[in-house]
Amino acid sequence: MKVNAEVTVRLGSGDENRVQPVLIDIEGNDLSFLIGRKAETINALQYITSLIVDRECGRWVPLQIDVQHYRQRREDELRKLARRIAEQVVGTGRRQVWNRCHPMSAGSSTWSCGIIRTSNGSMVRTHRKVNRRPEKHNKH
């Protein structure tokens, strides 16, 4: 199989507590087969690459592979969906559930663990366990 693609490798941002991750970007025409269904292929490619790099370097090196900016697009999509759910929680005052129609992998849910500020300034706490409910907000 011949694949025409451009691969760019760069260091991501790190801090004193974290090692800088290696970011691998793959660009080309119609590389969707590298992403796969529900990102299974890109995640497997990243895992296998990580194992190879670990063996060659003799230590763990964090890395992330992205194909045609898939990971950023997916994160943006999930953020919009989470914002919409948060707005529903604030509007109705009722718990909302992130259902099976919108599954999240552990990597995709990293950003959702925390607090989402809705457009009207209300706060909604999100949990990996998929429950969305209004959070009591203290005004100082």
Look at the block and give the residue holding tokens 């370097």: 57
Global pTM value: 0.66
Long-range CB contacts (within 8 A, 24+) of 31-35: 31/3, 31/5, 31/67, 31/68, 32/68, 34/3, 34/67, 35/67, 35/68, 35/70
Specify if 27 maps to a domain.
yes
The domain of 43 spans 5-68
Per-residue pLDDT of 49-62, as tens digits, reads: 999 999 999 998 89
Asked if 9 and 26 sit in the same domain, the reply is yes
Per-residue pLDDT of 59-92, as tens digits, reads: 988 999 999 999 889 888 888 887 787 777 777 8
Residue 31, domain CATH: 3.30.300.20
